[in-house]
A and B are shown apart, each in its own frame.
Chain A
Amino acid sequence: MLEVSNLACTRGDHRLFSGLNFTLNLGQIMQVQGANGSGKTSLLRTLCGFVAPDEGVIAWRGENIHELDEEYFAELLYLGHLNAIKDELSALENLRISAGLSGVELNEKAAIAALRRMGLRGREMLPTKVLSQGQRRRVALARLLVGDAKLWILDEPLTALDVGAVALIQELIAEHLARQGMVIFTTHQPLQVAGTEMRSLLLS
């Protein structure tokens, strides 16, 4: 499904990685590992198509992602360091808008159900500026529940989350893999997903 061949990425004058090859198939999960500054985020952003690779090709279903564009984006869910939520909007509005931007029209009931599963019961209508860092992250992560994207690209999904939320994310990832989804993620915290083999890619 996702095939990366001979990928190279440069930041400024610094070559982060080169000659990177891997294939990710349905139901597989891959952790990108490496020290700070080794290019994990750059790799994920390249896979999303924000940055054109210096060398190499990223192919989705056999076609270059830079030619697929919107077709690829429709199957992709990216969660970066930034939560992409607005302080002025409530958790509910934020979730419905971010689902809308990813092409899914979400009714209020489904959105509330998703927020409750993320442990935000009673906080649905509050403006997100009064929520804590971890709760905002939960609002952002609620997108995992509402889309039908095949490929999840998660950059440090566990930052600011407590133990309960980490367990919940592990559960969500396991469900996604069981539905033949694919996940690429980075994290510095241990993350165990039951029932699947975790592949890892070490950047150095």
Chain B
Amino acid sequence: MKRSSMLDLLVLVIRRDLVLAMRRRADVLTTLIFFVMVVSLFPLGVGPEIAMLRKMAAGVLWVAALLSSMLSLGRLFSADYLDGTLEQMMLAPQSLSLLVLGKMAAHWMVSGLPLVLLAPVLGLQFDMSAQALGVLIVGLLLGTPILSMIGAIGAALTLGLRGGGVLLSLLVLPLYIPMLIFGTGAVEAISSGLSIASHLSLLGALLVLALVFTPWVTAQALRISME
């Protein structure tokens, strides 16, 4: 029998959540299909004016990413809460923040990373330039993990509440605004020939900040929900 280290436990939680996501593929696919649908509806609704589509592309893709990453937040902790796994996680011999970080990482891999990979394909519908697409992807890569991390705080706070889903979106969406502003700002900057460094470095800074603080805050919120 071997005692496991911090890293072992982190890997265990990520692997477990990924396996579970693969066995409940429908849940993962709904999020992705939602993203594709929302983004594709805009060109149909707005009409084929290329200049206008190009202008709103980044905004549409980012808003759709915010909404679809939020769709799956409700499930982040609720299944573990209902079947008692969350209790066992709290009794793990490593800090709960670490396990929470693992769950956030798995959530991002399942509901954030696929959006980043789909974005360039969807961006073509809006006739985005290759440069703008590149910046959009970098922005999403930096931004979507923050969405999962901030969302986890909301999911932990609304755990076990009836109608928690609506409350969760009211709590979390305002906090998503900075990522939306900097993410779309970077694409706008590159399209008008300005520097993108400030936008992307602010997103990077937010990511670091979120990595440091959100696991701890989420763990505290979970403890409160479990009482």
Contact = CB atoms under 8 A, between A and B. Distances in A.
B3 A100 contact: no
Nearest to B15: A97
B12 interface: yes
A148 interface: yes
Q: Among B23, B79, B90, B93, find the residue whose CB has the most chain A CB atoms closer than 10 A.
A: B93
Given A70-B95, A76-B91, A105-B3, A84 B85 contact: yes
Interface string A69-109: 11101101010111111101100010001101111111000
B16 A97 contact: yes
A57 B3 CA distance: 29
Nearest to B89: A101
Contacts of B223: 50
A105 B8 contact: yes
Contacts of A81: 84
A172 interface: no
A81 B82 CA distance: 11
Interface residues of B, number: 31
B20 interface: yes
Contact of B9 (A78, A98, A101): A101
B24 interface: yes
B3 A104 contact: yes
A101 B92 CA distance: 6
Nearest to A48: B91
A76 B93 CA distance: 9
B88 A98 contact: yes
A146 B12 CA distance: 17
A70 B8 CA distance: 16
A100 B91 contact: no
A73 B92 contact: yes
Nearest to B4: A105
A100 B24 contact: no
Contacts of B99: 101
Interface residues of A, number: 34
Nearest to B82: A82
A79 B12 CA distance: 21
A78 B4 CA distance: 19
A104 B1 contact: yes
A130 interface: no
Interface in B62-103: 79, 82-85, 87-95, 99
A178 interface: no
A161 B206 CA distance: 51
A100 B9 contact: yes
Contacts of B20: 86, 88-89
B227 interface: yes
A125 interface: no
Nearest to B79: A86
Given A97-B12, A103-B94, A78 B88 contact: yes
A83 B82 CA distance: 10
Given A88-B20, A88-B24, A93-B19, A148 B88 contact: no
- Most A CB contacts (10 A, CB to CB) among B1, B20, B82, B94 go to B1
A82 B84 contact: yes
Interface in A40-59: 48-52
Given A105-B3, A106-B1, A78 B23 contact: no
Interface string B207-227: 000000000000000010011
Which residue, of A49, A80, A81, A102, has the highest number of chain B Cβ atoms within 10 A? A102
Interface of B: 1-4, 8-9, 12-13, 16, 19-20, 23-24, 79, 82-85, 87-95, 99, 223, 226-227
